[in-house]
């Protein structure tokens, strides 16, 4: 079959940012390949990238603007999944309605009543414009996105210790590691292409792997050491490694002297972290901790890779600091094949953060409470002096928590799904019901959009132009492949159209400017305000993306960071204390629940549950160890009831060695048995990230009939 055309673009799923070629015939994408000379993924893809694009054509996709038939009132707001509860309207009517309601609430209640969830799936340009709209028009910093729910702890820790928060290496550099630590990252399922590079590094280039993870993830098969810690004990394990390195004199004195500070206080705080103490807390054999410390410290090139198992704790910032301390202690940072690498989850979570979809920062991590910075943005956006809000805004979880008569009244959600992704969903549901006005801009009416007053149908990534910034800071092109389906419009266009209508209602003397003809103009505006993006131009990234920082139009981009110094000058050691998780198992709730993703699905499921991907993994499953299953008297495939202090779900179980005794795992993609009904909404005090990785639960056998919307199970052979 010959395609009408083949379009080169970037995958919309994870942070790896694979290059895709979409083969199109009659506007139908029937095949996806990848160029073998791609610097990112060398022609390899995962199931989502190669086959998971079909949500674009799902019969359930909404492609007409909608307004709710029944007017929703705070306190009595309810979900409407069926189209019969919505009225199809013109774009004109939908946008006028939205502009009227948002303006009215802003004028009645002020800035603090307005809030927006930007989107780590949308482009840099979409996110830049949406934060610009809320900052310039509603003078609010209540702007956040799901980065708060994923790497906030890592970002805050990295900012504190070195002053930058991205991966310091290029993903492909893993072949230059002698020893690397992988922790809190099920990389074969969540960053599959980085996993391939890791496997090759081990099998073909002789690298040694240390896995520190409570789950027996697939990468354990490739590991030299597996430290099977109890969830939430990271500070103890990694500080004990630091203890051993210090006691045995394996630390890098030259690096510590030349490039770091606060070493003495740090050393003092590590004194108590003996391997015995860490074994007592984490359950990891002290000998393994000692071996891991020696292996990492004595490596020529050591690197650390982590994902959400580190930050998603009530002490997530401390967890990440314990890793950074190790890198500073050994000098394993700032050279090819050495570094600190938080693997970013979403295709554009790096970019959405860079673009200012953040409550405390303008684009480029420039603080909102810095007077000079605020003035710079006022000038750029034609705002009167002192017009922009200097107060730090609310984070995602805080926005939900603040909904109420004197708090947040209006919420604008672009592409996110807090009704699946927030912790303690019963509480989230109650809060969503209290909203005065909710806008959903998406492809589908998901669990959050079902609460909305107005639904603005956006195009998918295949129907618009823009850029994504991947986990190793590479800004890559997203290209329109097919025309928008139905009446859907690109996010950036919707935002500009709406912003103009609101600006008019507010009688602003000068416009912040919304008359863009193409996203490339948005990127150029962002580049003038964000030094890291100053040199990004669409014509420079037609074939290969550029890695930020790109200081000017001639700068070639930056493959690895911190070769000379750290953005904050010296790297700062942080003394640490071990703090237990907020909710520890007890007699009533004896199991630790940890949540995460599976290969075939994406986050809240808005896309993948509307794709054929769902066939491969069609239902929620709780993973439970053989020993625990035996004690509970349950067998593989049985229905079980899982309860925490916050709620109960019923789902089938998968009895597996993949999880360790006392620990169970539930993926959070399934509304029918939403894991986040169980999770704890306690947050890290510094990063405001919720504790998704540790909640105490009880498990008991249930009847098959208690499963909500049961489906036939799919037999699976893979681990």
Partner 1 sequence: MTNQITLTIDEKEILVPPGTTILKAAQSVGINIPTICYHDYCTANALCRICVVEVEGARTLVPACVAQVSNNMRVRTNSERVIRARRTILEMLASSVDLSDAPDILAMLQEYQVDTNRFPEAEERKPSVIDDNPMYIRDYAKCILCWRCVQVCATDAQYTFAINFSGRGYETQIGTFYDKPIPETTCVFCGQCVGVCPTGALKPKKQWLLEQGLPPAEIVQLTRFNRSANSRCR
Binding site for partner 1 (CB under 8 A): 1, 23, 25-26, 28, 30-34, 36, 42-47, 50-51, 54, 57-59, 188, 192, 196, 199, 203-204, 599-600, 612, 614-616, 618, 637, 712-719
Q: Output 19 or 558, the one with its CB closest to partner 1.
A: 19
Q: How far is the CB of 104 from partner 1 (least distance, A)?
A: 40
- Rounded-to-integer distance, Cα 578 and Cα 654, Å: 33
Q: Which residues of 97-126 are buried (b: 16+ CB within 10 A; e: fewer)?
A: bbbebbbebbeebebbbbbbbbbbbbbbbb
Q: How far is the CB of 185 from partner 1 (least distance, A)?
A: 17
What residues contact 249, with CB distance under 8 A and at least 6 apart?
A: none
Q: How far is the CB of 150 from partner 1 (least distance, A)?
A: 23
- Rounded-to-integer distance, Cα 338 and Cα 179, Å: 9
Q: 20: part of which helix (H) or strand (E)?
A: strand 19-25
Q: How far is the CB of 26 from partner 1 (least distance, A)?
A: 7
Q: Output 398 or 600, the one with its CB closest to partner 1.
A: 600
What the block records as the tokens of 408 is: 């947040």
Q: Output 465 or 600, the one with its CB closest to partner 1.
A: 600
Q: Output 192 or 393, the one with its CB closest to partner 1.
A: 192
Q: 10 Å Cβ neighbour count for 26?
A: 7
Q: Output 160 or 200, the one with its CB closest to partner 1.
A: 200
Q: State how far the alpha carbon of 157 is from the alpha carbons of 160, 162, 289, 342, 698, in Å.
A: 5, 8, 23, 11, 33
Q: Output 283 or 618, the one with its CB closest to partner 1.
A: 618
Decide: helix, strand or coil at residue 591.
Answer: strand
Q: How far is the CB of 597 from partner 1 (least distance, A)?
A: 14
Q: How far is the CB of 68 from partner 1 (least distance, A)?
A: 27
Q: Output 218 or 583, the one with its CB closest to partner 1.
A: 218
Q: How far is the CB of 600 from partner 1 (least distance, A)?
A: 8
Q: How far is the CB of 656 from partner 1 (least distance, A)?
A: 14
* Cβ pair 503, 69 in contact under 8 A: no
Q: How far is the CB of 54 from partner 1 (least distance, A)?
A: 7
Q: Output 30 or 510, the one with its CB closest to partner 1.
A: 30
Q: Output 38 or 366, the one with its CB closest to partner 1.
A: 38
- Rounded-to-integer distance, Cα 713 and Cα 121, Å: 30
- Rounded-to-integer distance, Cα 267 and Cα 255, Å: 15
Q: Output 34 or 643, the one with its CB closest to partner 1.
A: 34
Listed in order, strand segments (DSSP E) in 415-549 are 437-442, 454-457, 466-469, 474-478, 546-547
* Cβ pair 621, 668 in contact under 8 A: no
* Cβ pair 640, 194 in contact under 8 A: no
Q: How far is the CB of 200 from partner 1 (least distance, A)?
A: 8
Q: Which residues of 258-294 are buried (b: 16+ CB within 10 A; e: fewer)?
A: ebbebbeebbebbeebbbebbbebbbbebebbbbbbb
* Cβ pair 456, 97 in contact under 8 A: no
Name the DSSP class of 215: B
């Amino acid at each position: 079959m010959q395609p009408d055309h083949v379009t080169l673009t970037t995958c919309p799923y994870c942070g790896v940012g694979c290059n895709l070629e979409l083969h199109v015939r009659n506007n139908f994408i029937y095949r996806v390949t990848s160029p073998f000379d791609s610097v990112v993924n060398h022609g390899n893809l995962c199931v989502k990238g190669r086959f998971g694009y079909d949500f674009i054509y799902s019969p359930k996709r909404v492609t007409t603007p909608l307004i709710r038939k029944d007017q929703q009132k705070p306190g009595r707001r309810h979900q409407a999944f069926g189209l019969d509860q919505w009225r199809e309207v013109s774009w004109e009517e939908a946008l006028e309605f939205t502009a009227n309601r948002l303006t009215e609430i802003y004028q009645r209640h002020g800035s603090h009543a307005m809030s927006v969830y930007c989107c780590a799936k949308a482009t840099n340009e979409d996110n830049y414009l949406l934060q610009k709209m809320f900052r310039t028009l509603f003078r609010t910093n209540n702007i956040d996105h799901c980065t708060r729910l994923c790497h906030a702890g890592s970002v805050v820790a990295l900012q504190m210790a070195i002053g930058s928060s991205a991966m310091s290496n290029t993903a492909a550099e893993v072949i230059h590691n002698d020893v690397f630590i992988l922790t809190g990252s099920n990389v074969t399922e969540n960053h599959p292409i980085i996993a391939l590079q890791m496997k090759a590094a081990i099998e073909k280039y002789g690298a040694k792997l240390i896995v520190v993870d409570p789950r027996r993830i697939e990468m354990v098969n490739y590991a030299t050491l597996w430290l099977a810690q109890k969830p939430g004990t990271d500070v103890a394990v990694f500080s004990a490694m630091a203890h051993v390195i210090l006691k045995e004199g394996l630390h890098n004195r030259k690096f510590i002297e030349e490039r770091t500070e606060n070493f003495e206080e740090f050393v003092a705080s590590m004194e108590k972290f003996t391997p015995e103490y860490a074994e007592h807390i984490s359950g990891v054999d002290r000998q393994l901790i000692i071996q891991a410390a020696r292996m990492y410290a004595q490596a020529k090139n050591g690197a650390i890779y982590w994902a959400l198992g580190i930050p998603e704790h009530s002490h997530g910032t401390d967890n990440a600091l314990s890793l950074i301390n190790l890198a500073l202690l050994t000098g394993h940072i700032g050279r090819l094949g050495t570094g600190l690498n938080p693997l970013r989850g979403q295709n554009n979570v790096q970019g959405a953060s860079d673009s200012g979809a953040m409550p405390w920062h303008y684009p480029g991590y420039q603080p909102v409470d810095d007077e000079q910075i605020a003035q710079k943005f006022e000038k750029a956006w034609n705002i009167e002096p002192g017009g922009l809000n200097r107060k730090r805004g609310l984070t995602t979880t805080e926005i939900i928590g603040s909904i109420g008569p004197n708090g947040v009244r209006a919420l604008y959600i672009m592409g996110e799904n807090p009704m699946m992704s927030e912790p303690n969903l019963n509480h989230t549901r109650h809060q969503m019901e209290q909203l005065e006005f909710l806008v959903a801009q998406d492809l589908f009416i998901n669990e959050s959009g079902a609460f909305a007053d107005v639904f603005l149908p956006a195009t998918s990534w295949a129907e618009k132009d823009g850029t994504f910034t991947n986990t190793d800071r590479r800004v890559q092109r997203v290209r329109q492949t097919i025309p928008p389906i139905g009446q859907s419009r690109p996010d950036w266009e919707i935002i500009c159209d709406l912003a103009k209508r609101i600006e008019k209602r507010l009688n602003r003397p000068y416009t912040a400017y919304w008359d863009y003809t193409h996203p490339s103009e948005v990127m150029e505006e962002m580049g003038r305000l964000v030094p890291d993006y100053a040199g990004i131009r669409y014509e420079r990234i037609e074939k290969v993306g550029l890695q930020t920082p790109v200081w000017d139009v001639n700068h070639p981009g930056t493959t690895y960071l911190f070769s000379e110094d750290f953005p904050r000058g010296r790297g700062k050691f942080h003394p640490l204390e071990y703090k237990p998780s907020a909710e520890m198992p007890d007699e009533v709730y004896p199991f630790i629940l940890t949540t995460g993703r599976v290969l075939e699905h994406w986050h809240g499921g808005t896309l993948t549950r509307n794709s054929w991907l769902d066939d491969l993994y069609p239902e929620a499953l709780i993973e439970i160890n053989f020993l625990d299953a035996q004690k509970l008297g349950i067998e593989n495939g049985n229905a079980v009831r899982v309860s925490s202090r916050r709620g109960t779900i019923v789902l089938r179980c998968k009895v597996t060695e993949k999880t360790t005794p006392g620990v169970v795992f539930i993926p959070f993609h399934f509304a029918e048995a939403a894991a986040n009904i169980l999770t704890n909404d306690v947050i890290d005090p510094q990063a405001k990230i919720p504790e998704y990785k540790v909640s105490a639960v009880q498990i008991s056998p249930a009847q098959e009939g208690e499963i909500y919307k049961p489906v036939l199970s799919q037999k699976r052979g893979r681990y």
